[in-house]
Amino acid sequence: MKPILLSSIICICLCFSRPSGSLAQDRLVIISPHWEGIRYEFGRGFKAFYQAESGREVKVEWMDVGGTSDVLRFIKSEFSNKPDGIDIDLMFGGGSDPYLELSRADLLAPYQLPDSLLSAIPQKAGGFPLYDADYHWYGATMAGFGIIFNKRVMQRMRLPNPKTWEDLTDPALFSWVGSADPRKSGSAHMPFEIILQAYGWERGWQIITALGANARSFANTGSQVPKDVTTGEIAYGMAIDFYAWAQINEVGPEMIGYTMPDNLTILNPDAIGMLKGAPNSEIARSFLRFVFSEAGQRLWMQKPGTPRGPERFQLSRFTVLPDLYRRINPAYTSVTFNPFTWTSTFVYDAEKGSARWGIINDLIGTFIIDAHNQLKRRWQQAIEEGNVDSVLPMLAAMPITEEEALDMGRNRWRDQAYRNRMLFDWTQMVEQKYGAGALEMPVAELVLLGGSGGLMTILIVYLWWLKRRRGE
């Protein structure tokens, strides 16, 4: 046999063989808006769990395409091109509303956890389901929504202590409030939807508009708002609980406070679900079993370095296993609140929130964020003239009713051409409401409006906007 041929055969044999003691490596692909700490601790923990369960190694690949809204948009776009599967196994994090939307679109694959795990998870917490009745998604942890505030800034500026969402509309708080853009952050979206459901459509939009007018700016991520509160850039911020607790743990409760408005907020499952056509479905099921095992759930609550806790990052999240609140040593955790003892008279309609998710984001984006400077100027004028109460209903008037928003969200908002036409009409209304030059629409934002068949609409909107800016 010729040496070259022999060498080739040996190389091929080596490529397709393994030493008897080596471990086979599998692969899992997860798309997630979760931060680095969660990805690291759950990735590390699952590798050990999977090796013990299967005797094999696994490589966990995390896809980061942005916040929850970005993740949801990406998944739906990918499935529109590849309806049988998008080469991603799991979505992890982002609340519960996106999972309701994905389930309604038949983009999630059901998996029933073993009874030994499922029986330990209550069906509800705070009146909210912790998992889907058909097992398309499960709440891996929970999150509350409230107001983070800087006590020292409030004391220095003689600002009031916040107790409700409505308190953030006080004209005395002008430029002291902060929020993130709900089009980019799912944790930023939820407080706005909660306000609309808690106060009703008309009054809810008045509160959203007034606190938006009081906002200094809108951050790109939900995690930035608590940081801005801590540095004193703003005094108040709308925040998900674990971002707020992270700041409190860092600088101390004597400087930073956090409140969840009584009967005006919810504890929302932060879910996980397997996507339709998952290429590594068996491994994805194993990851789900790990997340809901005691080993996985301890990662949420315990401090780094504690027995059976995380290695590097403190996650400061709730476990969905009620018994762990009793059994975890209090010295091992920074989570002192038990959500299973929390009660509220406010009942959140998850189906409604999911159905109109995109509509609410676009209304806030068009009428409050993209026209923010002009809204602030109009609001400041009303404050100086003392006619805030008479001006607010006009500023907060939306072009559609609650019923229309729900119908559009369920039936027509996925049609990109229809959505672009509506956004074009709304931008004209913004100009009429706030005055010429109100809309601040950079080209980058216009591109986001596009889709199949939407380029011409984008060009028309941009040329119209440019013409108005030039006063032609």
Choose one of 414, 437, 462: the last residue of a domain: 414
Is 333 within 8 Å of 301 (Cβ atoms)?
A: yes
Name the least confident of 10-19, 37-46, 218-227, 319-328.
10-19
- Using DSSP's 3-state secondary structure scheme, residue 430 falls into helix
Measured between alpha carbons, how far is residue 137 from residues 97, 130, 171 in Å?
11, 9, 42
When pLDDT is cut at 50, 70 and 90, the band that residue 9 belongs to is: very low
Same domain, 41 and 132: yes
Assign 180 to helix, strand or coil: strand
Same domain, 213 and 302: no
Has residue 373 got a pLDDT over 80? Answer: yes
Examine the domain organization and report whether 230 and 365 are in the same domain: yes
| Greater pLDDT, 102 or 13 | 102
Does 443 map to a domain?
no
Q: What single string gives the DSSP state of each residue in 104-146? A: HTT-EE--PPPHHHHTTS-SEETTEESB-TTSS-EEEEEEEEE
Nearest to 196 by CA among 139, 268, 264, 115: 264
Based on the domain organization, do 241 and 366 belong to the same domain?
yes
pLDDT of residue 437: 55
pLDDT value, residue 442: 44
Please say if the pLDDT value at position 452 is more than 60.
Answer: no
Q: For 221-225, 315-319, 449-453, which range has the lowest pLDDT when averaged over its residues?
A: 449-453
**pLDDT, position 439:** 54
Is the pLDDT at 215 greater than 70, yes or no? yes
What value does the mean pLDDT take over residues 292-317? 96
Tell me the C-alpha to C-alpha distance, in Å, between residue 37 and each of 42, 203, 239, 295, 317. 8, 38, 18, 16, 12
Q: Are 409 and 419 in contact (CB under 8 A)?
A: no
pLDDT tens digits, one per residue of 227-248: 999 999 999 999 999 899 889 9
**Burial annotation 172-209 (CB, 10 A radius, 16+ → b, else e):** ebbebbbbbbbbbbbbbbbbbbbbbbbbeeeebbbbbb
Predicted confidence at residue 10, as pLDDT, reads: 39
Answer yes or no: do 70 and 212 share one domain: no
Distance of alpha carbon 313 from alpha carbon 299, whole angstroms: 9
CA–CA separation, 391 and 395 (whole Å): 6
Report the alpha-carbon distance of residue 238 to residue 214 in Å, rounded. 12
Q: Are residues 151 and 218 in the same domain?
A: yes
Parallel, antiparallel, or unpaired: how do β-strands 108-109 and 236-240 relate? unpaired
Dihedrals φ, ψ of 211, to 5°? -70, -30
| Confidence at residue 436, expressed as pLDDT on a 0 to 100 scale | 57
**Does residue 281 share a domain with residue 135?**
yes
Looking at the predicted structure, is the pLDDT value of residue 443 above 50?
A: no
Residue 274: pLDDT over 90 = yes
Mean of pLDDT values over 260-265: 92
Whether 374 is covered by a domain: the verdict is: yes
Per the domain annotation, does 434 fall within a domain? no
Q: Return the pLDDT at 342.
A: 85
What's the pLDDT score for residue 20? 40
Question: Do residues 311 and 361 both lie within one domain?
Answer: no
**Side chain identity at 384, as an amino acid letter?**
E
291-294's contacts with Cβ under 8 Å and 24+ in sequence apart are: 291/42, 291/138, 291/140, 292/113, 292/117, 292/118, 292/120, 292/121, 292/138, 292/140, 292/320, 292/321, 293/49, 293/117, 294/321, 294/324
Residues 255 and 381 in one domain: yes
437 found inside a domain: no
**What does the pLDDT look like over 78-136, one tens digit per residue?**
999 999 999 999 999 999 999 999 999 999 999 999 999 999 999 998 778 999 999 99
Could you tell me if 223 and 363 lie in one domain? Answer: yes
**CA–CA separation, 52 vs 54, rounded Å?**
6
Average pLDDT over residues 383-411: 95
State mean pLDDT over 291-317. 96
Task: Report helix, strand or coil for 163.
Answer: coil
Looking at residue 446, its pLDDT comes to: 43
Q: Where are the alpha helices (DSSP H) in 334-439?
A: 350-355, 357-364, 372-385, 388-396, 402-411, 416-434
Question: What pLDDT score does 453 carry?
Answer: 41
Least confident range from 109-113, 243-247, 424-428, 467-471: namely 467-471
**Across 415-444, average pLDDT:** 78
Residue 448 within a domain: no
Residue 470 lies in a domain: no
Report how many domains make up the chain: 2
Domain membership of residue 284 as a residue range? 25-142+269-339
Q: Does residue 433 lie in a domain region?
A: no
Decide if 129 is inside a domain: yes
Give the SS3 label for residue 372: helix
CA 25 to each of CA 21, 50, 56, 90: distance values in angstroms, whole numbers, following the listed order: 13, 10, 6, 18
CA distance 204 to 192: 8
> Based on the domain organization, do 191 and 273 belong to the same domain?
no
Q: What is the pTM of this model?
A: 0.80
- Among residues 339, 369, 388, the one where a domain terminates is 339
Shared domain check, 306 and 366: no
Residue 440 has pLDDT above 80, yes or no: no
Q: Is the pLDDT of residue 320 over 70?
A: yes
Percent of the chain past pLDDT 90, that is, above it, reads: 76
Residue 367's domain is classified under what CATH number?
3.40.190.10
